[in-house]
Chains A and B, each alone.
Chain A
Amino acid sequence: MNDTYLDHNATTALDRRVLDVMLPWLLEQAGNPTSRHTFGRTARNAIEHARTQVAEACGAHASQVIFTASGTESNNFAIKGISANLTHKRVLLSTIEHPCVARPAATLQAQGFAIERIDVDYNGKLNKAQLKTQLKKPAGLISVMLANNETGGIQDIAQIGELVKQAGALMHTDAVQGLGKLPLHFNSLNVHAMTISSHKVHGPQGAAALILDKRVDIQPLLHGGGQEKGLRSGTENIAAIVGFGMACELAMTNLAHFSSHTAALRDRLEQGLMQLNATRTSITIFGKTTARLPNTSFFAVDGIEGETLVMALDRAGFAVASGSACSSDSTEPSHVLLAMGVSEDLARGAIRVSFGTNNTLQQVDDFLATLTQEISRLKQLTSIAA
């Protein structure tokens, strides 16, 4: 197993304190939350407590929280569920959305929807002037992610939401990467729906939520027993939901520390990268001058394949990513970088480092030393091959 985990935007280790609140639900408690006997009621209470914890972590009211099984499901639910009841069958998305927003949107085309893209600039910022023009024609739903999983770039969701609201359309934001990394206030973001997920904040996999403005008319994705006020059927995954609640509470407590600690690590890393850049290696840091998540650095080493570098770093004990984990099956260059206007060659060199609070400055220094070694070794190999 690796020594140093630097892939926190893909998934995070479960916090021990989260595990502690989950274990009774795995080891001792039985009960289906829908059952009326005491086993069922105890389970129901646990879920409602978690709902409050989740709501507080994202500035929402508990009644706005709909539990789902994954961020992917929440995004599918938002895109397909809201679109099902739209008058204007026109959906706008940024070009850097995660596939679990872009793909459900693409399926709407078969139902007569027009799906349009909103471009981003070289830093990954949404082109608001373009959005304004696009909003001059009636639109139904706009979806723009709050923070990008690859670059960490943050959008001005409240401003974008305001434009959308003025245009009379509905707005969804995928905030999976934002939760626990920056303050989130659903009710001041000017959005109607927001996706968040447990396993990115040291909670378990298997729980997520869609935060929904109750005025929005949404079609369920899953039909059945009528759980979650009929909006998401299926027996609740109590242990995971309870864990998600606790993870949210801890993330809130830890937010200031997360922000300052991971920013310090990220700055140290990028200083090191710049020094390397000044000597003999050309390194590009993406979105460096724009608002970013404090823990994320996305960069490319000119002339070296990101995938090769990731594997080499892994052998040396560092877990990093070359693209988003969810699509790391493919060797296609990052669609986010291409959307930002980065060349295919440079995009192929991209690697992502994403820190958590358990990482240390020493680990950053060790990582930089290893990176420097691996780059020169790989460069030698390429020059021999050439």
Chain B
Amino acid sequence: MSASIELPVLKHRDDAHPLYLDYSATTPVDPRVAAKMIPYLTENFGNPASRSHPYGWTAEEAVENAREEVAKLVGADPREIVWTSGATESNNLAIKGAAHFYAATKGKHIITIATEHKAVIDPVRELERQGFEATFLIPEPNGLVDIEKFKAAIRPDTVLASVMFVNNEIGVIQDIEAIGHICRANNVIFHVDAAQATGKVQINLEKLPVDLMSLSAHKTYGPKGIGALYVRRKPRVRIEAQIHGGGHERGMRSGTLATHQIAGMGEAFRIAREEMDTENERIRRLRDRLLQGLLEIEEVYVNGELEHRVPHNLNISFNYVEGESLIMAVKGIAVSSGSACTSASLEPSYVLRALGRSDELAHSSIRFSIGRFTTEADVDYTIELMKSKIGKLRELSPLWEMFQDGIDISKVQWAAH
């Protein structure tokens, strides 16, 4: 069904109009989502907090329907869903809100993972400045957290743990259930950044021992500028509000709600719930095809393990190719080298480095992320493009030549200049 919808702008026409393969940075808005949003931009424009006229009531109804859809996708009660302006705000609200609320009773130690998104790492760093202590666990080389090491990191004063469901750069899925049970047993509040997980993995918060979960619309074919935080009711989890004002969202998050964006997120999550199974199967086939094609190139390394991983993501390092020239060479496809949110910097990905990848391999990595509108022809185009460009770049590379001659480059002593 979804593959039948075509978005021409995502297709390769020439190098100024590349093929879109960056679905983990952001997804295009599904046309069905846009159709749902537009009426709330035009005829139904009321402020959902206006209680005295139907303009406000229509808006409020749309907001509550959307809340139900968002709750359904993750197996939550609608009353557990708090709207925010996006996953960054959700993460900030969850981490700072819970840490501040429980610091006095539980303590001031936080556990998180070195490969978290900046929107988790930076609020934790901010809490460190405020006198909290943080442990940044290094995951295994396959990207997954070792459960025993997690358990060992817990201290009597651990107040909060934050672990992402699906990594944005390498797509690996953490064992949230196991980590959650450890948190429960140790009375630690457990937050999960699920921005990259919705519509890709089954989430059932009725069973999953998670206290707070960040959700984003624009990674799941919804609009930008809207997200949500799941806040568990049973057992009740409390957070300190970060934005104060009119007392919207039961006091947890003030500010006029953008009705069209909320309606869009609701529709995006409804579609995700209904189409997830068939869509994931289709995307897995495309991913496998892409992987097989790329593995025909010599000296390529898949970053992160493949088994516990969303099918949408393929992160590959191309050895003996210089990172920047790689990006310049593959202009026919829009992909990411490192996380989009930090790709303005030329630092090698901190996620790949945390997995023990060398700077060179981290630099020459590409994240291919495929999605709802990717086709088999797109994948085939990508394989051919990569084969030819990698071949050309390596022809120019003295390192590649040395490698071909059987020289172990890691043992070469370079002269300083």
Contacts and interface: CB of A to CB of B under 8 A. Distances in A.
B28 interface: yes
B349 interface: no
A35 interface: yes
B55 A5 contact: yes
A27 interface: yes
Interface residues of A, number: 76
Interface stretch (A37-45, A280-288, A340-348): A37-45
A38 B14 CA distance: 11
B316 interface: no
A204 B224 contact: no
Interface in B222-245: 223-226, 242-245
A115 interface: no
A73 interface: yes
A104 B244 contact: yes
Interface string A187-209: 00000000000010000111100
A270 interface: no
A262 interface: no
A240 B261 CA distance: 9
Interface stretch (A88-96, A127-135, A314-322, A366-374): A314-322
B294 interface: no
A328 interface: yes
Interface string B19-37: 0101001111101001001
Contacts of A206: 85, 225-226, 258, 260-261
A102 to B, nearest CB: 9
Interface stretch (A177-185, A216-224, A375-383): A216-224
A240 to B, nearest CB: 5
Contacts of A39: 18, 20, 22, 334
Contacts of A328: 49-52
Interface residues of B, number: 76
A22 interface: yes
B342 A225 contact: yes
Nearest to B123: A223
Nearest to A223: B122
A165 to B, nearest CB: 27
Interface string B43-59: 10111011111111010
A225 B119 contact: yes
A386 interface: no
B162 interface: no
Interface string B70-95: 00000000000000011111011000
B27 A30 contact: yes
A7 B53 contact: yes
A207 B225 contact: yes
Nearest to A309: B52
Given A7-B55, A233-B122, 7 more contacts: A26-B34, A206-B226, A223-B118, A224-B88, A224-B120, A226-B122, A310-B53
10 contacts: A23-B34, A26-B38, A30-B7, A34-B25, A37-B18, A69-B255, A100-B243, A205-B260, A319-B54, A329-B51
Interface of A: 1-2, 5, 7, 10-14, 16, 19, 22-23, 26-32, 34-40, 68-73, 75-76, 98-100, 103-104, 106-107, 199, 204-207, 221-227, 233-240, 307, 310-311, 314, 319-322, 324-329
Interface of B: 7, 9-10, 16-18, 20, 22, 25-29, 31, 34, 37-38, 41-43, 45-47, 49-56, 58, 85-89, 91-92, 117-120, 122-123, 125-126, 218, 223-226, 242-248, 254-261, 327, 334-336, 340-344
